[in-house]
Amino acid sequence: MRGWSKGRDLAPHCFNIFINDICQMPNTQLCLFADDTASMCTGPEKHTNVANLNNHLAELERWLIKWKIKINKDNCEAMYFTKAKKLPPPQKKENPSVELSHGVAKSNTLESR
């Protein structure tokens, strides 16, 4: 938020008030912690999940533009949690700068990749 330094006591409260109207979507879950945001979706159909997340990202983009909030694209990542060994191909071609990565691969032991 412009005008408030990150370390000030009042900054987190002002940020919480500022983002109070952030868009929520019925098929995704939005998780906020401090100034970090994660949009999540679960389900058996990969293409449906990707479509739901892309719809939510489009709404978030409109909200960010409305409030003149800039995000650091270097801190953005699409993460898949799946049993598959291979990452699915990227679905949204408009934003090729978002990196894809595996989260946790399910196997006999919990492995982070």
Q: For residue 24, is it within any domain?
A: yes
The answer to whether position 107 is within a domain reads yes
Q: Residue 93: inside a domain, yes or no?
A: yes
Q: Determine the Cα–Cα distance for residues 55 and 61; give it in Å rounded to an integer.
A: 10
User: For the segment 62-112, what is each residue's pLDDT rounded down to a tens digit?
Assistant: 998 998 888 887 888 877 777 777 766 655 544 554 555 555 444 444 444
Is 2 a domain residue? no
Model pTM score: 0.64
Domains in the chain: how many in total?
1
Contact 53, 41 (CB under 8 A): yes
First-to-last C-alpha distance (Å) of the chain: 33
Whether 47 is in a domain gets the answer yes
- Asked whether residue 5 is assigned to any structural domain, the reply reads no
Domain ranges, residue 62: 10-112
1 found inside a domain:
no
pLDDT for the residue numbered 5? 55
